[in-house]
Chains A and B, each alone.
Chain A
Amino acid sequence: MDQAFEAAIAFAIFVAAFSVSQYTAVAVYESSMNRLSEPRLEAAACIVASEILLQNGNSSEKWSSWEPVYETGYYFSPASGVGVAIRATCYSLDPSGVVTILWTKQGPSQEPLGRYAQKYVDGVILEDGTFVRVEAYASDIF
């Protein structure tokens, strides 16, 4: 075989093997980072939802005057780099079993922060018999 051709094949094999090893290493690193991020973001969403429930309790007055805060980092201080979205929905139930949505409040971000966002759901029955579902989403902001 021509030696130049042989050298070209050898170089191609080297480049392919090198690329595969680098790609695998970076993919392993990325998946490890994602695995570490998921519980952290879920915990962040849990903190936000819990604090909202803690602040408003089961008072229907507090819930009707409450608005999702439009400042990132309000609910927990070291939240730089963590984006938060909140959605609260209030339901009423009539004796026949029909559920009606009374109101929905959403913020600070209107979108639930993309596919990497982690969600936490909690609910509370208010003193007037209505039910509020709180969904908190947390995601890294790059």
Chain B
Amino acid sequence: MDSRMRPAALLHMRGWSKGGKGVALIFDCMVACVIIIAGLAAYSSVATHKPPGPDEGLGKYATDVLTFLDSNGCLARLIEGRDSLALRKTIGELLPEGANYCLCVYSPYWELEWSFSSQGFDWRNAAASSPYLVFSESKPEPYMVTLSISK
């Protein structure tokens, strides 16, 4: 083993540098290559990384859900009763699996009156419905309701 390795090692050293630094130079180059590749990989992942943005389709779906809940005056009753448990059950049933939501109820002047969200709701990748006007019989002014859904 010893006698076989020596000529090859000597060949490298003679060709590249004196003083037995040839092999070290090869490994320096290799380490530099590894660092460059790792750097390029990190750069490409940062440069092309697209954060999980809001899904516009989900916003439209949230508006559809509000329209459906309002179809027989049910949404106004649930909001007036502040019955978060019933609303939670109703909305949770209509949303796809794995989706989280946040329901916000505002006055006509955009003052937040009431809101609740499911566990795991994240604003960063949430899509909101268009503001939805809900009229109730007991109150002259309508509510503004938005439903946001996050994946």
Instruction: Find chain A residues with CB under 8 A from B77 CB.
Output: 95, 97
Instruction: With a 10 A CB-CB cut-off, give which of A14, A129, A133 has the most chain B CB atoms.
Output: A133
Secondary structure call for the B interface: helix
Chain B contact residue count (CB 8 A cutoff): 42
Interface check B58, CB cutoff 8 A? yes
B41 and A28 form a contact (CB under 8 A) = yes
Instruction: Find chain B residues with CB under 8 A from A99 CB.
Output: 89-90, 93-94
Instruction: Find chain B residues with CB under 8 A from A125 CB.
Output: 64, 67-68, 71
Task: Identify which of residues 1-36 in chain B touch chain A, using a CB-to-CB cut-off of 8 Å.
Answer: 1-2, 5-6, 9, 23, 27, 30-31, 33-34
B27 and A35 form a contact (CB under 8 A) = no
B30 and A3 form a contact (CB under 8 A) = no
Interface check B72, CB cutoff 8 A? yes
Instruction: Find chain B residues with CB under 8 A from A13 CB.
Output: 27, 30
Per-position 1/0 for B91-126, Cβ under 8 A of A: 001101001000000000000000000000000000
Interface check A75, CB cutoff 8 A? no
**Which among A15-23, A62-70, A78-86, A103-111 touches the partner chain?**
A15-23
Question: With A4-B5, A123-B65, A131-B68 known to touch, is A28 a contact of B94 (CB < 8 Å)?
Answer: no
A123 and B2 form a contact (CB under 8 A) = no
Instruction: Find chain B residues with CB under 8 A from A17 CB.
Output: 27, 30-31, 33-34
B125 → chain A, closest Cβ, in Å?
13
Q: Which of A's residues lie within 8 Å of B, judged by CB?
A: 2-4, 7, 10, 13-14, 17-18, 20-21, 24-25, 27-28, 31-32, 35, 46, 91, 93, 95-99, 101, 119-125, 129, 131, 133, 135
Q: Which of B's residues lie within 8 Å of A, judged by CB?
A: 1-2, 5-6, 9, 23, 27, 30-31, 33-34, 37-38, 40-41, 44-45, 48, 50, 57-58, 60-61, 64-65, 67-69, 71-74, 77-78, 86-87, 89-90, 93-94, 96, 99
